[in-house]
Amino acid sequence: MIVDCAIYRDGHRSEGPEDFSDALSEARAAGGFVWIGLHEPTEREFDHVTQEFGLHPLAVEDALKAHQRPKLEVYDDSLFVVLKPVTYEPETDTVSTGELMIFLGDSFVVTVRHGEGGPLKAVRQRLEHEPDLLGNGPTSVLYAVADAAVDHYLDVATELQADLEGLEAEVFSPDDGGSRNTASRIYNFKRQVLEFRRATGPLALPMSRLAGTAPSWVTVPFVDDRARPFFRDVSDHLTRVNESVENLDRLVSDILSAHLAQMSVRQNDDMRKISAWAAMAAIPTMIAGIYGMNFDHMPELRWEWSYPVLIAVMAVLEVLVFRLFKRRGWL
């Protein structure tokens, strides 16, 4: 459905006519641009927008079906950018992503949002309170949306880092390090980091192209040259995010390896203890087994002190073996 439609002239908003074609003509005549926002539009709802603004059918297909990687594509009459806003739920420790498509032309911006967590409403409100920035045209909208999404990436990375520190403390805690649920929690955390990575990693090249730092053969039209320093700032922030994601992924892998190593060491300790107690139990079992055989002629079988002597021998051997295992750390 259509969430908002307005014409912006010199950085100030005015309500546009209901007909998109009239709105576009009015905006071009006044030197402004049209900004149309849609949320999960149907194919029928989007057909009218496609016809009026001449959007490329391949980009329209991507915008309707969603499930796209972050990317930037250049067509004859427009620019198509895909962003993936990210939200983090600390209660459930889950990362969820939405999708935000931006069509950018000489005098129009069409934004299509799928899922929740998109920054469009806040971005529109902020831009409408900054007419100097909004007066730079459609490029200012693309910059503001990308900047808001990447800044939120930084917030999510900080929250994930805090949760990872808590998980690390749990793994190396002498009390909870061997919890049965720890490995599953680590693996689930790694899945969330990978989901986050899918949103931030592929966006690096599009931001470099918008910033003008990519090779010259991939220069981007419809982007004001004065905005390129701003996109470089967004690209720098994105680089920080990707470095944080790489560190998180590496650390969580190290924590998982450390946890598995701890579990292996504890299992070895348990096996040594079991083996030590089994060895101690074998001494009286062996002696009792020998003297439990039904033979008439055995040493000391008829001796009056045989029983107490054997009990004493077993006790002494048990103490000696116990001290030996204790000294070696098996018990």
Q: Report pLDDT digits (tens) over 277-294.
A: 787 787 777 777 777 766
pLDDT at 294: 67
Confidence grade of residue 196 (pLDDT, cut at 50, 70, 90): very high
Q: Report pLDDT digits (tens) over 203-226.
A: 999 999 898 887 655 668 888 888
- pLDDT, mean of residues 137-150: 92
pLDDT at 18: 65
Confidence grade of residue 311 (pLDDT, cut at 50, 70, 90): confident
φ, ψ for residue 301 (rounded to 5)? -70, -35
DSSP 218: G
Q: Report pLDDT digits (tens) over 6-15.
A: 888 888 888 7
Which one has a higher pLDDT value, 143 or 255? 143
Output the CA torsion sign for 142, 144, 147, 152: negative
Residues facing 83 on adjacent strands:
100
Closest to 2 in 3D by CA, of 34, 45, 44: 45
Residue 221 sits at the vertex; the CA angle it makes with 220 and 222, to the nearest 5 degrees, is: 125
pLDDT at 148: 92
Residue holding tokens 């931001």? 207
Strands 2-9 and 12-15: antiparallel
Helices (H), 104-227: 120-128, 131-134, 138-171, 182-200, 204-211
Which one has a higher pLDDT value, 230 or 93? 230
- The tokens of 265 are what? 């060491």
Lowest mean pLDDT among 134-143, 251-260, 293-302, 303-312: 293-302
- The tokens of 196 are what? 């986050």
- The tokens of 307 are what? 């029983």
Which one has a higher pLDDT value, 97 or 1? 97
For residues 153 and 238, is the Cβ–Cβ distance under 8 A? yes
Q: pTM here?
A: 0.77
CA-to-CA distance for 121 and 140, rounded, in angstroms? 15
Confidence grade of residue 157 (pLDDT, cut at 50, 70, 90): very high
